[in-house]
Structure 1
Amino acid sequence: MINLDVYIIDELKNYTFRFPVNPLEKLSIQKEKKYTTVDILNFGEVDIAEIGEKISEISFDTLLPKKYDSSYCRYKNIKSPNDTIKLLEYWKDIDQPVRLIITDFNYNDLVFISKISYEERTGEPGDKYISITFRKFREAKITIYQGSSTSNSSTQLQDNRADNGSGDYKDGDVVTVTASALNVRDGPSTDHNVLGVVYKGDTLTIFRQYGNWADTYWGDKGGFVCLDYVSK
């Protein structure tokens, strides 16, 4: 049994669910390669470059016990297995992502639940064993529009993500977090470890800018944040 806790936070409803039993045996992690291929309607396949590798899928098996057992349950007031499955299936079916937090693993990100399966086992009536898979949520960053009249037959791609971090920053600039939650990392990319989290409305002071990332005065050691999710 892995010594950690797994939470799902529905930020829209301000509701937190904690898995009563830790993942059984292992967490399965799949990472993306440098390029992601996207099939765009009426355009074809487009390769979108990504810097480094990012966790794209996390899956694990766990137990939803009918009754509390202090030897493996993480807390006492557990939901019934059927109610938990209904809640997980609700999150799977909606378009809104939820936040997945895995403590002692430094994972804190928005995800979709992509797969759920469950079973009952002989000799354990009422208990449910489930397999669940999460896919990392990503905002759409491209749009299709018609080119100028001098090239009517061409189709171009444009980055339509809000550019909250546009412009140069200098030592001492104060920025405000615009994302609901923003990871602070120990280096200027998503390849680096997560040190902690800041939340919407929090302010940070810039020390130095590194492309689309900034080193900030945060905590005792400082940390890096993505400038897409802050504003001056």
Structure 2
Amino acid sequence: MSDAKIALVLLSHERAERVNRMVDRWRSITRPYLIVVAFGGDASEFESIKGRKVFVDDSRLRTTDHQRERQSYTEVLRKSVQSIADDDWDALYLAEFDMLPIVSDLWKRLEQRAEAENADLLGHRVWRVDGTFHPHYSNLATAPEWFEWIRTFSIREESAVVLSCMGCGQRWRREAIQAVVDIGEPVRAYLELHLPTAAHHLGYRVRGLSDQDQFVSSDQLATSAIPSMKQNGAWVVHPVKGEWA
């Protein structure tokens, strides 16, 4: 098995000095093939961010109630993929600003898992949620036009399948993320449903990282807990806000 060339996309809205510290940490620990900062913060900070970067001026990224406003990463991924279209990368990893890498061989571990699972998208907390009372699905069920749109391209026998996974810590094979970017998002859906579900119905395989889910959640983590998490097998942790202050 050859080493995959990882394009790391780091999404942040923080001040430039914090973004630069985040990039330096990820680079020193994981050494990706390339790094792109997808910046959705104050435009005045953008020029001070070092290295490759794209500015994402999208109201659907800057939501307050992410679920009900159906926050989207479609423009984040479109601009990021477009900016590295001429580079020779194999897989893309999407990390949010409050995610920390714990192991130096993160890409190797993800590559091995993707090979074992034949996964085009590896994500955290991957569940099938259609027909359930999952709050994201219940909200989306009020938009029948999204389900109709899915059926226009689904190659699956069950075109009503809806998958969920967290927005942070997604590992995509290049072909899969390019296909999802190309199909766009003509009908609004929350990113945690839209991305894995679109990939699934395009024919790509979505798989979870169940052994890592305990370390990646929506509940704030204390930095003092990180050593014990590493000891317990964490590859990355989320969310740890304020790390770059």
Give the structure-2-normalised TM-score.
0.23
Q: Which is greater in Rg?
A: 1
Task: From the two aligned structures, give the one with the greater strand fraction.
Answer: 1
- What is the TM-score when the length of structure 1 is the normalising length? 0.24
Q: Which has the higher contact order (CA 8 A, sep 6+)?
A: 2
Q: Which has the higher helix share?
A: 2
